[in-house]
Amino acid sequence: MSEIKPSLVILAAGMASRYGGNKQTESFGPSGETIMEYSIYDAIKAGFGKVIFIIREEFAESFKSVIEPKLAGKIATDYVYQSLESFSGGREIPAGRTKPFGTMHALLCCKDVLDAPFAVINADDFYGFDAFKRAYDFLVDGIEKGKYACIGYELKNTLSDNGSVTRGEINVDPLQNIVSITERKEIYKKDGKAFTPEAGTDIELPLDTKVSMNFFCFTPDFVNWSEAEYYKFRDANSTELKAEFLIPEVADILIKSGEGVVKMIPTEAVWFGVTFKEDAPVVKAQLQKLIDAGTYPEDLWA
> Where do the domains of the chain lie?
7-292
107 closest CA partner among 198, 218, 273, 268: 218
User: Phi and psi for 264 in degrees, rounded to 5?
Assistant: -90, 120
Q: How confident is the model at residue 269 (pLDDT cuts 50, 70, 90)?
A: confident
- pTM, 2 dp: 0.89
17 pLDDT above the threshold of 60:
no
CATH class of 7-292: alpha beta
pLDDT recorded at residue 22: 59
pLDDT of residue 213: 92
pLDDT tens-place string over residues 151-200: 999 998 888 888 898 888 999 999 999 999 888 889 999 999 999 999 88
- How many helices and strands in the chain, by DSSP H and E? 7, 13
Ranked by mean pLDDT, which of 6-20, 67-81, 236-250 comes out on top? Answer: 67-81
Sign of the torsion formed by the C-alpha atoms of 166, 171, 175 and 177 = negative
Length of the chain: 302
Beta bridge partners of 149: 217, 263
Find residue 10's DSSP bridge partners.
53, 121
Q: Of the segments 25-29, 126-130, 231-235, which one has the largest average pLDDT value?
A: 126-130
Q: How far is CA 173 from CA 31, 206, 221, 253, in A?
A: 44, 18, 24, 17
Measured from the Cβ of residue 129, the count of other Cβ atoms closer than 10 Å reads 19
pLDDT tens per residue, range 133-157? 999 999 998 778 889 999 999 998 8
Which residue type sits at 119? Answer: A
Q: What is the average per-residue pLDDT within 233-254?
A: 90
